[in-house]
Chain A
């Protein structure tokens, strides 16, 4: 039997989700909420936090029960677990922050079909210990939130002239904007454009870092 590969340290499992294996910028998963709810910073943050909660909760349960779930029904069981957490998150958001819940609308329910969550269960939580799975889920969830925040803030800034609801471009006593917002940025095409530009920047930075590391060594 081939020798078992040593497992990477827990800190590595956490950090990989933030940058090296970022779900949005590297794995390009979960594009539906990424494009749909990032028209403002607050919506992006709320969606990111809800996804983080569902991801961590589902990974915890799937990893705890991995010995008992027959592999023939594993996907159905994972979906049931994920849907339960999403419904809990939906009711909690509706009770705690009704204004944000109103903004997000149907997209909270769509977290169930977010590829990031099912992908992590199948690829990681079903094959690793509970602690590892939870740490990996936390890293991925935070990486997803970070990506959404980048996209959401930029789109809101350019498309509405505000950041997290605070108008930034009011100059002078009149209420007329000095900056004419690019409405396209808060519409779907703007989402694609901004995401493409961020992917370009992210990959450029990653390549530069690799080159730097190669030059130094």
Chain B
């Protein structure tokens, strides 16, 4: 008769669970430590990137201030969190415009950008992309294509309607009416 074959016993369940739990615990400790160590640098990088972006999208800006929308008006909030706009002035103290961060869905992920805006002139002063995960070579053209980015410099965004005498009608607010118009529109 052959000798009995030794069958390896599976380790008890507590050992398996304990190993995974310990691995998870140590992993968590390691990740949190690195996160805490790198957090100040990462926050500083993000703030520096945003600041330099404001100066790029509002040409000529030398001073800026962070404003937040509170109770129906913009108030200075240098160290706040959350949505904010950045007011920018030139070296002589003349107000140039606002730097307005914005974000929306792109093809891959959210694209966050900042654009400069002057409300009096009704113009976009410039645009810079802050964060994008678009496909390199395709979607990242919004960052890399200098001609496209330059199109936003001085872009007029207020609607402008021109009337030439004898042609066209002044635009009136459309209201629904059950009956068709009784007279032909002047050509």
Instruction: Report which A residues bind B (CB closer than 8 A).
Output: 39-40, 43, 68-70, 72-73, 76-77, 80-81, 83-84, 87-88, 91-92, 94-96, 98, 102-103, 105-106, 159-160, 183, 186-187
Contact = CB atoms under 8 A, between A and B. Distances in A.
Contacts of A72: 10-11, 16
Contact of A88 (B19, B30, B41, B131): B30
Overall SS of chain B's interface: helix
Contacts of A92: 34, 38
A32 to B, nearest CB: 15
A68 B22 CA distance: 11
8 contacts: A80-B20, A80-B24, A87-B34, A91-B38, A92-B34, A95-B45, A183-B137, A187-B137
Contacts of A160: 137
Chain B interface: which size bin? 20 to 34
Contact of B11 (A70, A96, A102): A70
B31 interface: yes
A159 B45 contact: no
Given A73-B19, A77-B20, A84 B35 contact: no
A43 B137 CA distance: 13
Interface in B12-71: 15-16, 19-20, 23-24, 26-27, 30-31, 34-35, 38, 41-42, 45, 49
Contacts of B42: 91, 94-95, 98
B10 A84 contact: no
B27 A105 contact: no
Contacts of A95: 38, 41-42, 45
A73 B22 CA distance: 12
Given A81-B23, A81-B27, 10 more contacts: A39-B136, A40-B136, A69-B19, A87-B31, A88-B31, A91-B34, A94-B45, A96-B41, A98-B49, A105-B133
Contacts of B170: none
Contacts of B133: 105-106
Interface string B101-142: 000000001000000000000000000000111001110000
A103 B38 CA distance: 19
Contacts of A80: 20, 23-24, 27
B131 A73 contact: no
Given A70-B11, A70-B16, A77 B23 contact: yes
Nearest to A40: B136
B164 to A, nearest CB: 40
A72 B27 CA distance: 19
B30 A77 contact: no
